[in-house]
Structure 1
Amino acid sequence: MNVSFTTSLFRTKKANPRSVTDLQPAMAQLSGFHAIRVSGEDAAEFLQSQFTNQMANMSVGDCQLTGYCNPKGRALAVMWLLKTSSEYILLLPEDLAETLSKRLMMFKMRAKVDIKPDACHQIFGVIDPSGKHLSLKDSCEIWPIDAKRAFASSVAGSGEMNPNENTVQVFDHDYWKLAQILAGEPMIYTSTYEALIPQHMNLDLVNGVSFTKGCYPGQEIVARLRYLGKLKQRMITGYCESQAEIGPGTPVFTKEKGDQKAGIVVDAVKLGDQTAVSVNIPATHIENGNIAIGSTTGTPLDRIQAPYPITLEKNA
């Protein structure tokens, strides 16, 4: 049964899903992402020297979440890194693609690297919580994230559903954003550029930071916090109800800090009257404590249990 690429606003099989498992099988058009294609003799070595994750051992068909920091350890971007037989593909929010592309060009020096922005990439997100519904033909390039999600090339148009399914839903980019929020995966946007270090948005907890690789911009700060420092901020997810627009960078408040900003929204996607959010907050409020979004009297956060342990201790 062929996939029909008619994009629609997404629906969820459960109101306010609490995990990726609560989502229905679907494909997501990643129109909110732009791609940067990096190729050339020195591509692997160059990217290894720039990003937070260990990519030296990536094989064709692998993908990983990784970060790009300034020398002070503040995140300039979080992106998906996909490896093909001939190049690396960086997928990141469209509002940062040009900035990141120019920065990479600036630092490539004499490296034999070709960097090409690609606003019209043909990559889709695949969400299949049970792993039983969506199968893709061999002609399709696939980059699995985990047992529930993957990226696939547009050749997935020839993909097939399990025979007991009638259609393949193809939803808009917000469906992918929701899946990332529920998976506890951060993103950086123009509004949060240089606002967070990797640990403060849990990038280290979703295998987005390597503490054994060589140098990269900000590595000393990121490593020092792990081995010598104390984490004061972490990221949690939840829902809030608000008529006002909530998006990345929206301030977060706690009762203890009063009108002093306690953190920011890292990512957000609206579901009817509710907004699913990931928020950067004081570590003391991971499990409990009042959290308000937007203002001291703003909408309270209904926490979602994280899909991984949120650790604070050094060397955890």
Structure 2
Amino acid sequence: MNTLNSNPVHGATRLNDWGLIRASGEDAAKFLNSQLTQDFALLGLNEARLAGFCSAKGRLQATMIGWKASEQEILLALPAEVLPGLLKRLTMFVLRAKCKLSDASGEWQLWGLTGTDAEQWLGDAAPQTRWSLGQKGEATVIRLPESGAQARFLMVQAKEAADPALNPLSPSDWQWLALQSGLAWVRAATHEQFVPQMLNLELLGGVSFKKGCYPGQEVVARSQYRGTLKRRTFLYELEGQALPGQEIFHSEDPGQPAGLVADVASKDGRSLILAETKIAALASGSLHLGSIEGPLLQPRPLPYALTEPE
């Protein structure tokens, strides 16, 4: 059964499992530009950027969305489970830069909005292109990658602000849509498991290959320009539950993992997973969760083409 083509859902859900880091000071953009995979030196006030933070070996420790709240203040939104680790690591590198980092999660509400009802409610504040930014009153609205033809938005507003005037959306429905967008977030269980291209991050606008150095930049560039990528992230559906960090096995090579679950959505006894997978494993045989006796992974289409590096 393919449950991807279910009826569109509409509404808003509070993203209680997300948080915010504030970078403030005259060097905030310059500092983040030296640490993240995207170009923050050129970040404008009307746009957001998807980015990653890598180890020296080019392995992702966190992925996030960043935007300017003002000329000297940048906010980074990311899953709360990896926020303390990222804040600690970034703080280690500030040194003499005029940039102060803090956990601003307690000052804001983060909401996921989706559907035509959300677009109508946002009105002129609804950004029209991916990663563009709008303002609805004092709230910031960022357009996220679409789930099929369905628009999705991240809305960030003050803690005391009223809830959006939209139908409540269950977290499981929101996560199900999020997985269909093809964007997997680094979780605690997948810390340092992937270089950006393994998560298709560059295809979603999360990597700049024209900016200066950052931790792991040489490894990321080498993955892009030397040889063919052997692993990519694909979308699958399966019966039962799954968890980030679970291994995937191939029926023709049961002795070693063929991939790793990056992100998961579950509802009605089924799961969608975005899983980093050996490309060669897709040519024949079958993929299973946990072992070759585990649930069968049924491939589902991604909303973008998997291109090879030039």
TM-score of the alignment, normalized to the shorter chain, above 0.5: yes
Partner of 1:143: 142
Q: 1:115 aligns with which of 81, 93, 101?
A: 101
Q: 1:153 aligns with which of 152, 156, 162?
A: 156
- Pairwise mapping of residues 45-56 of structure 1 onto structure 2 (< 5 A)? 45-56=30-41
Give the Cα–Cα distance (whole angstroms) in 1 for the partners of residues 298 and 20 of structure 2.
Answer: 34
**CA 1:183 to 1:146, structure 2 compared with 1: closer, same or farther past 3 Å?**
closer
Give the Cα–Cα distance (whole angstroms) in 1 for the partners of residues 2 and 288 of structure 2.
Answer: 22
Give the Cα–Cα distance (whole angstroms) in 1 for the partners of residues 81 and 36 of structure 2.
Answer: 19
Give the Å deviation of 1:106: 0.4
The alignment's TM-score, normalised by the length of structure 2, stands at 0.86
Contact 1:40 1:87 in 2 (8 A): yes
Give the Cα–Cα distance (whole angstroms) in 2 for the partners of residues 179 and 271 of structure 1.
Answer: 11
Partner of 2:26: 41
Give the Cα–Cα distance (whole angstroms) in 2 for the partners of residues 73 and 16 of structure 1.
Answer: 35
Partner of 1:3: none
Amino acid at match of 1:134: W
- Pairwise mapping of residues 265-304 of structure 1 onto structure 2 (< 5 A)? 265-286=261-282, 289-304=285-300
Contact 1:25 1:133 in 2 (8 A): no
Give the Å deviation of 1:31: 0.8
Can you list the C-alpha shifts for 1:243-283, whole angstroms capped at 9, x where unaligned?
xx411101101123213111110000111110111111111
Give the Å deviation of 1:64: 2.0
Give the Å deviation of 1:212: 1.1
Q: Which has the higher strand share?
A: 2
Amino acid at match of 1:213: K
Partner of 1:79: 64
Partner of 1:101: 87
**CA 1:146 to 1:186, structure 2 compared with 1: closer, same or farther past 3 Å?**
closer
- Pairwise mapping of residues 6-85 of structure 1 onto structure 2 (< 5 A)? 16-18=3-5, 23-85=8-70
Q: 2:244 aligns with which of 223, 248, 253?
A: 248
Give the Cα–Cα distance (whole angstroms) in 1 for the partners of residues 267 and 175 of structure 2.
Answer: 11
Give the Cα–Cα distance (whole angstroms) in 2 for the partners of residues 87 and 263 of structure 1.
Answer: 38
Can you list the C-alpha shifts for 1:30-84, whole angstroms capped at 9, x where unaligned?
1111211111110000000101112222222422211110011111111111321
Q: Size of the alignment, in residue pairs?
A: 290
Can you list the C-alpha shifts for 1:72-97, whole angstroms capped at 9, x where unaligned?
11111111113212521111121111
Give the Cα–Cα distance (whole angstroms) in 1 for the partners of residues 8 and 94 of structure 2.
Answer: 41
Give the Å deviation of 1:18: 4.8
The alignment's TM-score, normalised by the length of structure 1, stands at 0.84
Structure 1 segments unaligned to the other structure (5+ residues)? 1-13, 161-167
Amino acid at match of 1:102: K
Structure 2 segments unaligned to the other structure (5+ residues)? 124-135
Alignment identity in percent? Answer: 32
